[in-house]
Amino acid sequence: MRKEVRKITEGAAMIALISVFLLIDRQFAGQLNVYFAWIIPLPIIIYTARYGFKAGWLPYVGVVIIALMLSTLPSLIFAAMYGLVGLFYGLGINKKFDNRTQFLFTSLFTTIIYFLSMVLFASFFGYDMGDEIKIVTEFLRAMDVEPISGEANVIRLVIVMTIFFGAILEAYLLHIFARILLSRVVRITIPPSTPLSKFKFPAYVGYILMALLFAWPLVTQLKLNQMGQNVGYTLFIFSTIAIVSHALILLAVLQKRYRIHTLVFTAVLSLLLIPTIAVFPLLLIGLLDMVTDIRQTLLGVKKNA
């Protein structure tokens, strides 16, 4: 009986914390959700990690109801989406998922949220990529920058990359703060961090990312509308960044193993100075690391060791 009372009391406290955030967000005309929406999942993470996935639906539904009464429609949708992030993150902690899986799924969820709010349904959330491209183009003309071939596509590429990195940064902030709160404040045991040398995407993820590399060329050939182009760009950039990041992780492991101190620095510098040339070998390295045993071979580790 006492445990049930404590569970209900803590659930109410978690709802109250998020309600305070929603009230402050309303006073700032919904601007807090733009920069600090990753705070919303934290109370739900703590509650779900302690009491389980089914119990976690209690504060989640409560938050959605409170948001329905206090917030605007975009803020309500943000609260519902980020609440789900907290619910599933807490499930991972409760079920003892490893640290890598937690971060990957958090990154996936935040990327989907960014994609929905800033690409697919951008106009509903008050964002228009076409207007953004126009503003950047006008700014470049005002700075006397000469136009280049395919300038709109380059600007769109930069915008999509910025959105993607924003989603990853948000996932990282949520992941770090969740671990700090769970381990040091509420004293819940969390899985230890995964060593960098063991970080590797499964082979099927490699094949999926390889297929996504053809999203933008396919969209270009089909001559789809603006939304189709945005979707194609997003998928292409997402797969490229994921594969290149995987390649850099492999290079970091090799750098530590063979003490080649400038290996990663050289790769990153090449990517910054000559991106159109350097990206291709990094894509090849990343894909080979995902779908083959090249890492074990380079490190001199036997497959069944």
Tell me the per-residue pLDDT of 181-217, one tens digit each, with 9 for 90 and over. 888 888 887 777 767 677 788 899 899 999 988 887 8
Contact between 79 and 18 under an 8 Å Cβ cutoff? The reply is: yes
Please tell me which of 25-39, 182-196, 234-248 the model is most confident about, judged by mean pLDDT.
234-248
Q: Is the predicted pLDDT of residue 158 greater than 50, yes or no?
A: yes
- pLDDT value for 1: 64
d(CA 79, CA 37): 8
- pLDDT value for 301: 63
Contact between 10 and 90 under an 8 Å Cβ cutoff? The reply is: no
| pLDDT band per the 50, 70, 90 thresholds, residue 43 | very high
- pLDDT value for 285: 94
Look over the chain and give the mean of its residue pLDDT values, rounded to a whole number.
83
- Which residues fall within 8 angstroms of residue 122, CB to CB, at 6 or more apart? 128, 129
Q: Is the predicted pLDDT of residue 303 greater than 60, yes or no?
A: no
| Pair of tokens at residue 122 | 């951008």
d(CA 249, CA 140): 36
Our CA dihedral for 32, 36, 38, 41, rounded to 10 degrees, sits at -50
For the segment 72-116, what is each residue's pLDDT rounded down to a tens digit?
A: 787 888 888 999 999 999 998 888 888 878 888 888 888 888 888
Q: How far is CA 46 from CA 1, 189, 273, in A?
A: 21, 12, 44
The CATH code belonging to domain 1-194 is 1.10.1760
Query: Which residue type occupies 267?
Result: A
C-alpha angle 160/123/129, rounded to 5°? 30
95 CA to centre of own chain: 22
Q: Is the predicted pLDDT of residue 305 greater than 50, yes or no?
A: no
- pLDDT value for 120: 67
* Residue 9: Cβ within 10 Å count: 10
- pLDDT value for 222: 77
d(CA 172, CA 245): 15
- pLDDT value for 148: 65
Query: Which residue type occupies 277?
Result: I
- 10-15 mean pLDDT: 88
User: Measuring CA to CA, which residue among 203, 215, 214, 288 is closest to residue 249?
Assistant: 288
- Where do the CATH 1.10.1760 domains begin and end in the chain? 1-194
Q: Is the predicted pLDDT of residue 271 greater than 60, yes or no?
A: yes
Model pTM score: 0.70
